[in-house]
Amino acid sequence: MRDFYPEIEPFDTGHLDVGDGQQIYWEVSGRPGGKPVVFVHGGPGGGTSPEQRRFFDPARYRIVLFDQRGCGRSRPHIADGADLSVNTTQHLIADMERLREHLQIERWQVFGGSWGSTLGLAYAQTHPDRVTELVLRGIFLLRRSEIDWYYNGGAAHIYPDLWESYLAPIPESERDGDLVAAYHRLLTSADRAVAQSAASAWTGWEQATSYLLPKKSPDNPGLDAGDPRFDLAFAAIENHYFVHHGFLHDGQLLADIDRIAHIPGVIVQGRYDVVCPTRSAWDLHRAWPTAALHIVDDAGHASFEPGIKHHLITATDDFANRSA
């Protein structure tokens, strides 16, 4: 089983002004003249972390990480009043292009999971001539059926105990309706305590259901204590996108698959992914059969689960070998 490459530090970092009063944080690590790859983080609103550099051989890759608008180290942060009206899928696609041009990269590999797979596909379909390969994990096509499954009760049949914590901030009178809309009202409340409580419940639901085996195990001793600033960015930005259907037409990413049919791709999917069920990865593979599909039978959603990590690193190694 392939495991992470050693820890590395970036050799270049900065904030790029992308307009609308927004500055996105970016960093580059690995080999300065290496094969370019951009890591597209999840959420939206999740931000990047140092471990995400480790999916790539630092001797062969020029590794670009960036924090999307309103989260991570980008400025302003949602907790500091970032304007969500200028935070859409189309804005993020444009930000990626500005970053590519700023770093003077002609073409790059796009690597993303969960929401990162959504944005990665949307970016590639908008700029197919700028993408060398796609490595995608935990496929999320942002169809209404996927939102309803995870946030409006489908997944409650698997996690009824954790679902009660997700429901807790919502008044009982609103629990039979659209819970995404109910959360939107809470997360945009003028009362910061109300918004923060809702953010913690929303984020906690996703963190608790992302692994096949709960993180509270001998190998994963306990969920990280909630970070209120992270929780607010993650929940508020994610909910903003879902209320607006991801700023995409339902089924758009499958309908436009012909735009990337020529791009080499690898899809990695946990069989027991509750957050982004395997149906979406299968539908993507059926529409894009030239992309290799690896279904990991002992994994859920998280990219750090051993089988998923193995296939992701194998994919990045294989693409680096082809470029050598």
Active-site residue, 301 included: yes
Q: List the one residue out of 71, 66, 74 whose CA is nearest residue 22.
A: 74
User: How does DSSP assign 99-167, residue by residue?
Assistant: HHHHTT-S-EEEEEEEHHHHHHHHHHHH-GGGEEEEEEEEE----HHHHHHHHSSGGGGT-HHHHHHHH
Q: For residues 311 and 294, what is the distance between their CA atoms, to the nearest angstrom?
A: 7
Query: Exposed, middle or buried by CB within 10 Å (0-12, 13-18, 19+), for 233?
Result: buried
Q: Residue 157, Cβ neighbours under 10 Å: how many?
A: 10
Give the pair of three-digit tokens for residue 269: 């999917």
Q: Which of 57, 67, 256, 273 is catalytic?
A: 273
Query: Exposed, middle or buried by CB within 10 Å (0-12, 13-18, 19+), for 35?
Result: buried
Alpha-helical segments (H) within 22-88: none
Q: Which of 41, 184, 301, 311 is catalytic?
A: 301
Q: Which of 114, 197, 280, 303 is catalytic?
A: 114
Is the separation of the CB atoms in 305 and 296 below 8 Å?
Answer: yes
Q: For residues 211 and 206, what is the distance between their CA atoms, to the nearest angstrom?
A: 10
Active-site residue, 29 included: no
Is the separation of the CB atoms in 108 and 132 below 8 Å?
Answer: yes
* DSSP 8-state code for residue 63: E
Residues in the chain: 324
Q: For residues 302 and 263, what is the distance between their CA atoms, to the nearest angstrom?
A: 25
Active-site residue, 114 included: yes
Give catalytic residue positions. 114, 273, 301
